[in-house]
Amino acid sequence: MPVSPARDAALDILLRVEQGGFASELLHSERLDRLSPQDRGLATELVMGVLRWRSRLDDAIADLSSQKLSKLDPEVLEPLRLAAYQIGFLAKIPAHAAVNDAVELVKRKKKKSAAPFVNAVLRKLLKKKDLVEPLLAPGPKTIPELSALYAHPLWLVDRWAAQFGLESTDQICNYNQHVPPTAIHLADTSVETELTNAGVTLSPGRLLTNARIVTNGDITKTAAFAEGRVQIQDEASQLVALLAGRGQRMLDCCAAPGGKTAILAERNPQSEIVATELHPHRAEALRRRLRSRANVTVITVDFVQAELPGEFDRILADVPCSGTGTLARNPEIKWRLSTADLADLHRRQVAILRAALAKLRPGGRLLYSTCSLEPEENKEVIREAAAGFSLQPIADDLAALRNEGLLIADPQQLTEGEFLRILPGRFSTDGFFAAVLTR
């Protein structure tokens, strides 16, 4: 029997995510280029929906299943999740089509013997849709209720509640369960008219005057995007790049994918900018992205071991992190991450920050940043690695940016003590942390 191309593609991507792939990359792969725009949109909705709501889907399936979910092969469990998401969350999709395609997909994945089981579970779910969408009474929620309602691991919700309070944790989890806005950075605001003529509808940014929110149209199909005159970049990420400041010799030590590097080059056209990247394929993509920036040199190297000549007066250390501030865009992270991972990341981040500080010339400034909410990757890294350097109140830098496009009148809305702290959704952005160190 024929199967919806969107469901077929969505299953392939979910199986690859289960093996360690990242949905954001796979959803922009050649696999989806062969689909019609409508099917591509549905495949994206299915993949991201299943990943966002996975624990809610699993609880519903487990309640109706004669087998433990841990015993099911991925080729059986993922079609069940796909269908359960459509039954519970996508009212416009005929439920029988979701069930029939799930059964057929299981057969296509050489699990024909499991097809009757899948059919039976989903037929039961059709009669008990409330299992997928449990309702909570109005009013304050407990930590377990937030975990169940918003499909987040209990340990993450528990630590966020301890750090930010229940109300903010509710807002973070809620934001993570919705499609985040697509923000762009305009190197030249005159390109806005060109984008409008190309069928892209824009609204003003919430943090920055040079940011726009795409409300309709496909920015990636425009000449301005192809030529690098406009780039997709979360507004909080754009702000971090601005906070890196201006200098004569600058270093971006963990540069890929290059959005922040591009802003550094745009603001410092006469400066020498060195961008390092560990992985060759990401370094090559970085070179392509920055090909029009003659003042940027991309070096493929393990930064911690690198022997770069000379010192730098400005350094951006936007280090690899858990990404817990980006779960709206990368929901698979919450199902993979563990506290052991945070300890490993902390050690790596400390090593990178120490290596970066060693390359900072006297009087220079370093901006350390992550898109993580976890203290192990933020304050604790600064505390361990920055002995002998001065921590500067980032509110001063934010106040200075009021003259360069920052829209927030009170910088204290963006700070936590001496640090930048933006929680997911507070300004419809990802979550970010940053600190300024001087020598």
Last residue of a domain, one of 67, 101, 131: 131
The answer to whether residue 172 is domain-embedded is yes
Which residues does 322 contact at the CB level (< 8 Å), separation at least 6?
333, 337, 341, 342, 345, 372, 374, 377
pLDDT at residue 131, rounded to an integer: 82
In this structure, the answer to whether residues 267 and 401 fall within a common structural domain is yes
For position 216, which CATH number holds?
Answer: 3.30.70
pLDDT < 70 stretches in the chain: 1, 134-138
In this structure, the answer to whether residues 69 and 121 fall within a common structural domain is yes
Q: Give the tens place of pLDDT for each residue, 358-406.
A: 999 999 999 999 999 999 999 999 999 999 899 999 999 999 999 889 9
Which residues does 51 contact at the CB level (< 8 Å), separation at least 6?
14, 17, 23, 331, 332, 335
Domain count, the chain: 4
The answer to whether residue 91 is domain-embedded is yes
In this structure, the answer to whether residues 255 and 281 fall within a common structural domain is yes
By the 8 A CB rule, do 428 and 380 touch?
Answer: no
Full residue range of the structural domain in which residue 30 is found: 5-131
The answer to whether residue 158 is domain-embedded is yes
In this structure, the answer to whether residues 195 and 330 fall within a common structural domain is no
- Catalytic site residues? 371
pLDDT at residue 364, rounded to an integer: 96
In this structure, the answer to whether residues 157 and 240 fall within a common structural domain is no
Both tokens assigned to 312: 């730098």
The answer to whether residue 138 is domain-embedded is no
For position 399, which CATH number holds?
Answer: 3.40.50.150
The answer to whether residue 13 is domain-embedded is yes
In this structure, the answer to whether residues 250 and 328 fall within a common structural domain is yes
Q: Give the tens place of pLDDT for each residue, 219-267.
A: 988 999 888 889 999 999 999 999 999 999 999 999 999 999 999 999 9
The answer to whether residue 136 is domain-embedded is no
In this structure, the answer to whether residues 81 and 165 fall within a common structural domain is no
In this structure, the answer to whether residues 186 and 111 fall within a common structural domain is no
User: Distance between CA atoms of 177 and 424, rounded to whole angstroms?
Assistant: 11
By the 8 A CB rule, do 186 and 405 touch?
Answer: no
Q: Which residue has the tokens 């370093």?
A: 366
pLDDT at residue 129, rounded to an integer: 82
In this structure, the answer to whether residues 96 and 225 fall within a common structural domain is no
The answer to whether residue 137 is domain-embedded is no
In this structure, the answer to whether residues 225 and 334 fall within a common structural domain is no
In this structure, the answer to whether residues 327 and 412 fall within a common structural domain is yes
In this structure, the answer to whether residues 403 and 274 fall within a common structural domain is yes
Both tokens assigned to 159: 């630590």
